[in-house]
Chains A and B, each alone.
Chain A
């Protein structure tokens, strides 16, 4: 495996430090209702409008497990190639907070629903496997709002009881880039599965980041610090970078690192101590007596396996094998389910005799560029896969030039127009009739006799001038390949 990217190491006074990172990702389960109640989970509703008596912990209210959320967790486990535990237990994690109505969070402590698994990362230097320690189901808390009133805190319980999957990685990550790739891969897998929308802005995906450092080559783990609740990949990377350097500085100064929980300040780009190990909560975990242990049968799991779609790793392999794509191209196209879907639709609509390479270039080039500039998801693309396929076929069969195609592409964006129609309406069809082109070129040479002579005398740069003239006179429609050929012959 060739390494074309240096390792992420921190150098201080001839010492080299390696960074060890483990992630606890909190992924909101895609589900219409909450983990233990029938209240809606829709994002953005008025505060406290999606709260059942269970979510607000009224006396005598009891949790009832949402089977759909269990299925979603198991599917995610299958996607992570993980062991599905046929028996898991819900525990109570006890602590007091204003936005935790029960005074405990229902979570899974000793017996999670999903055990060990793995995620494959495609790094520039090759593939890397990241171990998954476990995945468990738990309830989200509500939201405390401190900035609406100088004296009081407001509490919104809409989020209270929403199902989360906590996905704990092994400490296998070694750099901010790997963390970024890991999060993106995890998100991609869950989006393929439809188990988490991965929307970090809405808080559907957040992570606690465990960071420690050690001298390169060492096998022992250093003392770790946990950075709580970081909700963007960029901030995660910045927080890790800051935290790792902070720890290295401490070691270099001969000081020790305290195991503690830290917060990342996005404005100052620094981590700050939130609470030390001594102040850590004693959560008094114990099995929730309101819920029986969760038991699932082999058939239940097997049935879910049949509902698992082709996942990014398999799709990538197929794209490489069937479409002859490079691993790099395949990785880009499968990283997002909607992109892969769009790509495959284009390929299908192109019919026989298709130029897949050209399709890849158009999707990852022109299409991605306009999506980026307009800040759109591919599912919101102004140009349908069908019409892009037609456009690419028009290039492939020589009806239009690549340059004209770009003009047409711009026009297509307005209401997803059929490129064929644009070609006809605007008369943009490429001129590929050799006789007509010869006549056109004869005229150009005739009009520019002096330049033709200069060219013949060796001023080869002038060839470009003649091509340009031909394109200009033809209104850009002349087939550039033919122009080249004819010009060479005539000059």
Chain B
């Protein structure tokens, strides 16, 4: 059965449609492997028995016209799932069971998929290593005691470890692309407004975007096609013509102009990252694309801007977790005391840090100097991309400035942790789509990713470029199953 979990999504769907595999067989295989993989700590909440029930039900009357017929999927625990506990990786939501379903997950179930369980993540998606989760560290299947990245660390680990054939994450500053890069998988952060935020526990509303994570570009395109819908329940959802991304996928990128931004050649960037980038440039050239040197002059301001805007929004978004209506409550002498105890005990250190930063930058007297200025810089960063896209169709950069690091290595150095998002954050600030694909290994054998950034709503184009590059790169993830005894 173990070879079932090694199969790509496309292959599983093919086998189901040709009746070579049943939903129950596939679901059992992933549950079986998940159960053997507790050491990865990828799951927060498992829903295996009801997954099997659903698989049985599917097999009794299989609807093979669906896009994900009877396919089991585990999802990041930031998506609210009806009647299934949703924690956002936080103690404050440890007992929270939504009565509603996020639009994204609903879209997936509507296509015949089955929920396996809820995957670990950094608390309220605040982190780059999954170390801020109340439910503990997640192991990277690549190597023991290696972080899977974050905040969609559980998703990346479960995907690379073959506990789920595909998954979904959310990306506020790199939370899909960075863990994809760290685990040798494909992760897409769609254009802001492409995927509904309804029912996703909010971190920073103007930056949050859900997206697909998969073993390969084609699976990623299919999942994007399913989750991206216009949703009137999200006022920032945009009604644009969406492609059938998997059907329209092509490796023909001849004549496409690919921009190489000089500002992404940052100080102290490891040699192997620079080499990887050059290799990537060569691959797109080999595919017939044209390389254009470009400048994104405000890049160096992106990280400080992000660490004002995101905490500001978070400080307000997280005010609702006050012990009054749902979730964790610590008893207090009075209302204020109850608030203080609930939030001090319910939120972890990183979340508290960001709430404090956010509260500070929005305070009267500081608002203009921080928040307002950050919004202006954000506009300049967006303008940089707009200018660049007059000359190029897409931009190629490394996904991260390094490969995955050891658990605990950066835990006490938040700034060094924040620097991990240096290549991904500008994309969120500009609201653009970006995809990370595995492109090589460093000398320790850890995967490295390349990022392709597109124009707004041009997911098809970056998926095509990724598809073409994937063929050339021929990446093989090195998973030894070290955690399975």
Residues on A lying within 8 angstroms of B by beta carbon are 53, 56-65, 92, 94, 96-98, 101-104, 153, 155, 282, 284-286, 289-292
Assess the B325–A289 pair: CB atoms within 8 A.
no
Assess the B204–A282 pair: CB atoms within 8 A.
no
* Interface status of B88 (Cβ within 8 A of chain A): yes
Residue of A nearest to B313 (CB): A289
| 17 additional A-B residue pairs with CB within 8 Å, beyond A96-B339, A292-B236 | A56-B325, A60-B80, A60-B200, A61-B198, A62-B235, A94-B315, A94-B316, A94-B319, A96-B319, A98-B335, A102-B320, A284-B316, A284-B362, A284-B367, A290-B205, A290-B236, A292-B235
A-B interface, 7 closest residue pairs, ranked by CB to CB distance from nearest: A103-B319, A289-B205, A284-B362, A289-B206, A57-B320, A60-B199, A59-B201
Residue of B nearest to A291 (CB): B235
A-B contact pairs, 23 of them (CB 8 A): A58-B98, A59-B93, A60-B197, A60-B200, A60-B202, A62-B233, A63-B235, A64-B234, A65-B235, A92-B316, A94-B315, A97-B335, A101-B320, A102-B320, A103-B320, A104-B316, A282-B364, A284-B315, A284-B359, A284-B363, A290-B202, A290-B235, A290-B236
Assess the B322–A59 pair: CB atoms within 8 A.
no
Residues of chain B within 8 A (CB-CB) of A59 are 80, 86, 88, 93, 96, 98, 201-202, 320
Residues of chain A within 8 A (CB-CB) of B99 are 53
> What's the least CB distance linking B192 to chain A, in Å?
10
* CA distance in complex: A291, B237 (Å): 10
Residue of A nearest to B100 (CB): A53
* CA distance in complex: A217, B4 (Å): 90
Residue of A nearest to B80 (CB): A60
Residues of chain A within 8 A (CB-CB) of B312 are 286
Residues of chain A within 8 A (CB-CB) of B80 are 59-60
* CA distance in complex: A52, B377 (Å): 37
* CA distance in complex: A59, B364 (Å): 27
A-B pair number, CB within 8 angstroms: 95
> What's the least CB distance linking B234 to chain A, in Å?
5
> What's the least CB distance linking B209 to chain A, in Å?
12
Residues of chain A within 8 A (CB-CB) of B200 are 60
Assess the A96–B322 pair: CB atoms within 8 A.
yes
* CA distance in complex: A60, B205 (Å): 10
Residues on B lying within 8 angstroms of A by beta carbon are 80, 86, 88, 93, 96, 98-100, 102, 197-202, 204-206, 232-236, 312-313, 315-316, 318-320, 322, 324-326, 335, 339, 359, 362-364, 367, 371
* CA distance in complex: A53, B318 (Å): 16
* CA distance in complex: A176, B382 (Å): 54
Assess the A101–B325 pair: CB atoms within 8 A.
yes
Chain B CB within 10 Å, residue with most, of A64, A282, A289: A289
Residue of A nearest to B319 (CB): A103
* CA distance in complex: A289, B193 (Å): 12
Assess the A155–B324 pair: CB atoms within 8 A.
yes
Residues of chain B within 8 A (CB-CB) of A153 are 335
Residue of B nearest to A290 (CB): B205
Residues of chain A within 8 A (CB-CB) of B339 are 96
Chain A CB within 10 Å, residue with most, of B99, B204, B233, B322: B322
> What's the least CB distance linking A405 to chain B, in Å?
61
> What's the least CB distance linking B134 to chain A, in Å?
15
Chain A CB within 10 Å, residue with most, of B236, B312, B319, B322: B319
Residues of chain A within 8 A (CB-CB) of B363 are 282, 284
Residues of chain B within 8 A (CB-CB) of A97 are 335
Residues of chain A within 8 A (CB-CB) of B86 are 59
> What's the least CB distance linking A379 to chain B, in Å?
38
Assess the B98–A284 pair: CB atoms within 8 A.
no
* CA distance in complex: A95, B201 (Å): 20
Residues of chain A within 8 A (CB-CB) of B316 are 92, 94, 103-104, 284, 286
Residues of chain B within 8 A (CB-CB) of A61 are 198-199
* CA distance in complex: A291, B205 (Å): 10
Assess the A289–B204 pair: CB atoms within 8 A.
yes
Residue of B nearest to A155 (CB): B324
Residue of B nearest to A284 (CB): B362
Selected from B197, B325, B335, B359, the residue in CB contact (under 8 A) with A57 is B325
* CA distance in complex: A64, B196 (Å): 13
* CA distance in complex: A284, B99 (Å): 31
Assess the A102–B201 pair: CB atoms within 8 A.
no
Residues of chain A within 8 A (CB-CB) of B198 are 60-62
Residues of chain B within 8 A (CB-CB) of A58 are 98, 100, 325-326
* CA distance in complex: A159, B236 (Å): 26
* CA distance in complex: A159, B320 (Å): 17
Residues of chain A within 8 A (CB-CB) of B201 are 59-60
Residues of chain A within 8 A (CB-CB) of B324 are 98, 101, 155
> What's the least CB distance linking B88 to chain A, in Å?
7
* CA distance in complex: A285, B361 (Å): 11
Residues of chain A within 8 A (CB-CB) of B313 are 289
> What's the least CB distance linking A290 to chain B, in Å?
5
* CA distance in complex: A285, B367 (Å): 9
* CA distance in complex: A53, B97 (Å): 13
Q: Contacts A153-B335, A290-B235 given: A103-B206 contact, CB under 8 Å? A: no
Chain A CB within 10 Å, residue with most, of B232, B359, B362, B371: B362
Selected from A60, A64, A155, A286, the residue in CB contact (under 8 A) with B371 is A286
Residue of A nearest to B364 (CB): A282
Selected from B98, B234, B326, B364, the residue in CB contact (under 8 A) with A62 is B234
* CA distance in complex: A380, B56 (Å): 64
Chain B CB within 10 Å, residue with most, of A60, A96, A155: A60
Residues of chain B within 8 A (CB-CB) of A96 are 319, 322, 339
Residues of chain A within 8 A (CB-CB) of B205 are 289-290
Residue of A nearest to B101 (CB): A60
* CA distance in complex: A65, B202 (Å): 19
> What's the least CB distance linking B376 to chain A, in Å?
13
* CA distance in complex: A102, B313 (Å): 13
> What's the least CB distance linking A357 to chain B, in Å?
57
Chain B CB within 10 Å, residue with most, of A57, A62, A97: A62
* CA distance in complex: A321, B26 (Å): 85
Assess the A64–B202 pair: CB atoms within 8 A.
no
* CA distance in complex: A56, B362 (Å): 24
Residues of chain A within 8 A (CB-CB) of B315 are 94, 284
* CA distance in complex: A96, B343 (Å): 12
* CA distance in complex: A61, B201 (Å): 8
Residue of A nearest to B326 (CB): A58
* CA distance in complex: A63, B42 (Å): 32
> What's the least CB distance linking A332 to chain B, in Å?
46
* CA distance in complex: A62, B200 (Å): 10
* CA distance in complex: A62, B197 (Å): 8
* CA distance in complex: A60, B326 (Å): 13
Residues of chain B within 8 A (CB-CB) of A289 are 204-206, 236, 313
Assess the A94–B320 pair: CB atoms within 8 A.
no
> What's the least CB distance linking A459 to chain B, in Å?
84
Selected from B197, B202, B325, B362, the residue in CB contact (under 8 A) with A94 is B362
Assess the A102–B319 pair: CB atoms within 8 A.
yes
Assess the B367–A286 pair: CB atoms within 8 A.
yes
Residues of chain B within 8 A (CB-CB) of A57 are 320, 325
Residue of A nearest to B79 (CB): A60
* CA distance in complex: A98, B323 (Å): 9
Residues of chain A within 8 A (CB-CB) of B204 are 289
Residues of chain A within 8 A (CB-CB) of B202 are 59-60, 290
Residues of chain B within 8 A (CB-CB) of A62 are 197-198, 233-235
Residues of chain A within 8 A (CB-CB) of B234 are 62, 64
Assess the A284–B364 pair: CB atoms within 8 A.
yes
* CA distance in complex: A282, B96 (Å): 31
* CA distance in complex: A64, B232 (Å): 8
* CA distance in complex: A291, B206 (Å): 9
> What's the least CB distance linking B221 to chain A, in Å?
26
* CA distance in complex: A290, B237 (Å): 10
Residues of chain B within 8 A (CB-CB) of A92 are 316
> What's the least CB distance linking B153 to chain A, in Å?
20
> What's the least CB distance linking A388 to chain B, in Å?
50
